[in-house]
Amino acid sequence: MINDAHCHFFSPQFFRALARQQLAMRAAPSALVAASASEIYRELQWDDPVATETLADRWVADLDRHGVNRTVLIASVPGDESSVAEAVARHPSRFVGFFMLDPSAADASDRARRAIHDLGLRGVCLFPAMHHVALTDERVKRIVERAAEQPGVIVFVHCGVLTVGVRRKLGLPSHFNLRLGNPLQVAHLALAFPKVPFIIPHFGAGLLREALMAADTCANIHFDTSSSNSWTRYTPGLTLDAVFKAALAVVGPSRLLFGTDSSFFPRGWQKGIYDAQRGIVEQTGVSAADASLIFGGNFDRLFPAR
């Protein structure tokens, strides 16, 4: 059984938000949003998502094709909670909804409350480097308090290197402050909210040592294994095999969540990442029971079917 803890839902609303940013950058009239969004698909050679329901159904068809049971879908621009909520409502046995939140927005706390309580989303995604809000900031604490109100809601914190491929391809500015995404500050939050599960994606995306230290001291910190993990090139000689071995030794199999970081179509679900990571886990001599935790069991424990 495969569950994927990290996929992005690039909804029509997501592309409209990018189009608005592009138009603002060119000082072009915002009435051009629809035309500009379709220009974006063409430019990227990605398929038009058409409509939220169409995209949700396409995801399910793709998961079926690859034998994937459930996935997390992340609303990948602040304000796109409803798209993912709609996809989850359409396929509740297949999708778990997360949403990106900018804690510096005036309505951040209300948005979080609405997404969690009214829309039933189960993960708040923080990108401190992108939104320029330190994890020690009171505004972040208020968001985590919202998550803590509802059992089963997790907080996902992107740490380490952050590149948003689509922004780069479209020439949108990415003034990220990488210092702000530090797993040691996730540990600080996780200690303050011991009942809230935290997920650090991509093993800390370059801050592996800090991520291991954080997870070693906080039993509520989990890692996701998603993406090609190309950050390993920052440490000479480091291989993904060695990363898995270290994570298994320090964090253990019950706090590792397999993920791919799949996002757009026609590429769809990234089987290549699954194959590579399955091979690594098998080679490291992990028991079948532990492997099934990583590739699906931990997901089902954190996000029981509703």
- What distance in Å separates the CA atoms of residue 269 and residue 279, rounded to the nearest whole number? 18
Residue 231 and residue 208: Cα distance in Å, rounded? 10
Minimum CB separation from Zn ion for residue 6, in Å? 6
**Residues 248-277 contacting Zn ion, CB under 5 A:** 261
Count of chain residues binding Zn ion (CB under 5 A): 1
Nearer Cβ to Zn ion (4/261): 261
Residue 261 or 290 with smaller CB distance to Zn ion? 261
Name the residue nearer to Zn ion (CB basis): 165 or 194: 165
CB of 30 to Zn ion, least distance (A): 28
The residue to which tokens 């290197």 are assigned: 161
CB 261 → Zn ion: shortest distance, Å? Answer: 4
In the three-class reduction of DSSP (H, G, I as helix; E, B as strand; rest coil), residue 97 is classed as strand
At its nearest, how many Å lie between Zn ion and the CB of residue 242?
Answer: 22
In whole angstroms, the minimum distance from the beta carbon of 164 to Zn ion comes to: 9
Q: What tokens were used for 96?
A: 């778990």
- Judged by CB, which is closer to Zn ion: 102, or 261? 261
Q: E strands along 101-185, which residues?
A: 123-126, 154-157
- Binding of Zn ion by 4 (CB under 5 A): no
DSSP secondary structure, 246-288, as one string? HHHHHT-GGGEE----B--TTT-S-HHHHHHHHHHHHHTT--H
CB of 5 to Zn ion, least distance (A): 10
Cβ distance to Zn ion smaller for residue 273 or 286: 273
Question: Restricting to residues 51-70, which ones interact with Zn ion according to CB under 5 A?
Answer: none
What are the residues whose beta carbons fall under 8 Å from the beta carbon of 213, sequence distance 6 or more? 183, 184, 187
Nearer to Zn ion, 72 or 214 (CB): 72
Site string for Zn ion, 212-241 (x = CB under 5 A): ------------------------------
Q: What are phi and psi of 262, to 5 degrees?
A: -70, 155
C-alpha to C-alpha distance for 101 and 125, rounded to whole angstroms: 6
At 216, is the secondary structure helix, strand, or coil?
helix
Sign of CA dihedral 266, 53, 60, 282: positive
175 contact partners, CB below 8 Å, separation of at least 6: none
- 210 vs 261 by CB, closer to Zn ion: 261
DSSP 28-62: --GGGHHHHHHHHHHHHT-----SHHHHHHHHHHH
Name which of 10 and 286 has its Cβ closer to Zn ion: 10
Footprint of Zn ion on 113-132 (CB under 5 A): none
| Residue number, nearest CB to Zn ion | 261
Smallest separation, CB 194 to Zn ion (Å):
26
Q: How far is the CB of 162 from Zn ion (least distance, A)?
A: 10
Which residues in this chain contact Zn ion in the complex, by CB under 5 A?
A: 261
